[in-house]
Structure 1
């Protein structure tokens, strides 16, 4: 293997707020922090380990408009409807991007408006290494 994805970097106005939100959504914990950034990942993970981490990086001039990449999440311990309720209670909000209403997924946004999808299939939880 030549390369591996070690982290997904998300520019944002409030790294602490988004790190807290995504820790709640994914069951992640904070791995590192400095004055501007927050790195999160599965419990027991480290930068460069077997799991991709999320780095929330302060940027006071975030890009506007739809980005060509987004995050998909799946519930691990409940059905999609129950997980949707949990995500909305954590601060997610529904987003209309032109869905027909026949989709098997829900389009949501995190507290700063970054779109992500809640898919229907339940998957096994991440295991810490």
Structure 2
């Protein structure tokens, strides 16, 4: 028996704003809201427990310190990397410099709160 990742919980200053960004970026929908202000987003079907992990955006006032030790990688599914890059930038992502050389096959971006993620080149099949 093994385990698998079912959800990623991410502390955010503005869960509402980040839920909107990541829902649009990943094609996710809002699954639930908690009294503490947390918002869970994920695939519309089957939602939690499916093959893709959900994201729980939890409110936090703790300031971020330094480079993230864990980040999200995303891949385009219905367009090439350049077209997906333009779409993510239009949603509010911005280029991020974390020391890359410029020879990488991926783009390092930051979401609207400055949390880094990478857009990889390989196009994946939709689920």
Task: Specify the TM-score bucket, using the shorter chain as the normaliser.
Answer: over 0.9
**Deviation larger for 31-40 or 15-24:** 31-40
- Deviation string 1:83-124 (CA, Å, 9 cap, x unpaired) is 000000000000111211111100000001110000011001
**Deviation larger for 79-88 or 95-104:** 95-104
Matched residue SS, 1:101: coil
- Deviation string 1:2-56 (CA, Å, 9 cap, x unpaired) is 4332210110011011011001100010100124111011111333344311000
**TM-score when normalising by structure 2:** 0.93
Contact 1:6/1:47 (8 A) holds in 2: yes
Residue matched to 2:43: 42
Give me the whole-angstrom Cα distance separating, in 2, the residues matched to 1:10 and 1:108. 17
Give me the whole-angstrom Cα distance separating, in 1, the residues matched to 2:86 and 2:50. 32
- Deviation string 1:46-76 (CA, Å, 9 cap, x unpaired) is 3334431100000011432112111000000
1:69 aligns with 2:70: yes
**TM-score when normalising by structure 1:** 0.91
Give me the whole-angstrom Cα distance separating, in 2, the residues matched to 1:50 and 1:118. 20
Give me the whole-angstrom Cα distance separating, in 1, the residues matched to 2:99 and 2:38. 33
Give me the whole-angstrom Cα distance separating, in 2, the residues matched to 1:84 and 1:106. 8
Give me the whole-angstrom Cα distance separating, in 2, the residues matched to 1:87 and 1:118. 9
**Deviation larger for 84-93 or 2-11:** 2-11
Which runs of 5 or more residues in structure 2 are unaligned? none
Give me the whole-angstrom Cα distance separating, in 1, the residues matched to 2:75 and 2:7. 19
Contact 1:92/1:108 (8 A) holds in 2: yes
| Superposition map of 1:41-120 within 5 A | 41-120=42-121
Contact 1:75/1:123 (8 A) holds in 2: yes
